[in-house]
Copies of this chain bind each other. A is one copy, B any other.
Amino acid sequence: MAITIRDVAREAGVSTATVSRALRGLPHVDPQTREHVARVAAELDYVASANASRLASGRQGTVAVITPSLSRWFFATVLAGIGEVLQAEDLDLLVHSVEDASAPSLPSERRLRGRVDGVIAVALPSGDAQDLRGIGVPLSLIGATADGVPSVTIDDVDAARTATAHLISLGHERIGLIGSGDDASADSAGSWRMEGFREAMLEAGIPIDTRLHADGGFTVDGGETAMAALLARPDRPTAVFALSDEMAFGAMRSLRRHALRPGNDVALIGIDGHDLSGLLDLSTVAQPVSDMGRMAAEQVLRQWRGDTPEPVRAPTSLVARGSTLPVAEAVALA
């Protein structure tokens, strides 16, 4: 068995209560005593049992992150941002990836209850937030919102409108869209981006042709498949809006296969501001992803302090690159 607080107490010639107070930096401890206890504890290489202290105190020192993916860029980057803040606060990071959308947050709610004192949910399907709130600890959402729940999002509608308007400003009218199947129903980032797309098209008076919508499942491979489907159409789009950069990357792969050049043969734009979008010369609407992770973590910390953080809207910015060349240039290069 490992060293317990009693061993330290005995060795130091004090009570366990004093050891506990001394080691945790609580007041009402003689400096001499504290130092002595600390020394003994160090000598014995004592480490308090997290289970025991958590059981006794009710504090968990742990924040759980619920995310649909660990490997996709957006989520990995958000996680890194969150981890940064938690690490600084010496908090544990418990990761729950819920790849399978069929297994909703209900199990998460039960698994997490009593084990964490904060939860950050990324891209949580709307509605599940209430379940999560049942855990009874501070909650913060990223890429989703819920009434009365702190959140960090971008203005997805606006971002998508901007992206679409950019394509339109270049003279495109047959604009394809690569999104995800569930975008229509859930009010998720995907659905908001769809909405922004619609608004932009409407404003421009361009009729929407849903036959030019393809499902990319928010993955690179999915984006490739989706683009392939679009290219297979007789009335191939002249421009494509992918709801994420990774899907746009996949689309690029497909274009390459078809010996088509993004920007010249088919205009292409995504959303994210992915690390590699610059290298791939992909136009995009960038969002400050790791910052968003950090902000969500801060929201949790603030709630512990009794604060009630307002939902935060992170800024986005259009970054026009080679994949959306002005038509003149595209023609010149052709």
Neighbouring B residues of A275 by C-beta, 8 Å: 220
CA distance A92 to B79 in the complex (A): 16
Pick from B51, B52, B279: contact of A253, CB below 8 A: B279
Asked if A208 is an interface residue, CB under 8 A from chain B, the answer is no
Residue among A51, A60, A94, A279 with the highest chain B CB neighbour number at 10 A:
A51
Pick from B79, B114, B280, B290: contact of A279, CB below 8 A: B280
Q: B55–A83 contact, CB under 8 A? A: no
CA distance A236 to B54 in the complex (A): 60
Residues of A within 8 A of B (CB-CB), count: 40
Asked if A77 is an interface residue, CB under 8 A from chain B, the answer is yes
**A42-89 interface with B by 8 A CB criterion:** 47, 49-52, 54-55, 60, 69-71, 73, 76-77, 79-80, 83, 87
Asked if A186 is an interface residue, CB under 8 A from chain B, the answer is no
Known contacts A256-B279, A280-B279; A77/B71 CB under 8 A: yes
Closest to A224 in B: B279
Asked if A97 is an interface residue, CB under 8 A from chain B, the answer is yes
Closest to A56 in B: B51
Q: A83–B95 contact, CB under 8 A? A: yes
Neighbouring B residues of A79 by C-beta, 8 Å: 70-71, 76, 95
Asked if A172 is an interface residue, CB under 8 A from chain B, the answer is no
Q: A113–B47 contact, CB under 8 A? A: yes
With both chains docked as a complex, state the minimum distance between the C-beta of A99 and any C-beta of chain B, in angstroms.
8
Asked if A232 is an interface residue, CB under 8 A from chain B, the answer is no
**A256-278 interface with B by 8 A CB criterion:** 256, 275-276, 278
With both chains docked as a complex, state the minimum distance between the C-beta of A154 and any C-beta of chain B, in angstroms.
19
The 4 closest A-B pairs by CB, nearest first: A76-B76, A71-B80, A51-B55, A70-B80
Residues of A within 8 A of B (CB): 2, 47, 49-52, 54-55, 60, 69-71, 73, 76-77, 79-80, 83, 87, 92-97, 110, 113-115, 220, 249, 252-253, 256, 275-276, 278-280, 290
11 new A-B pairs (CB below 8 Å) besides A52-B55, A71-B77? A2-B114, A51-B51, A79-B95, A92-B94, A93-B94, A93-B95, A94-B94, A220-B276, A220-B279, A276-B276, A276-B280
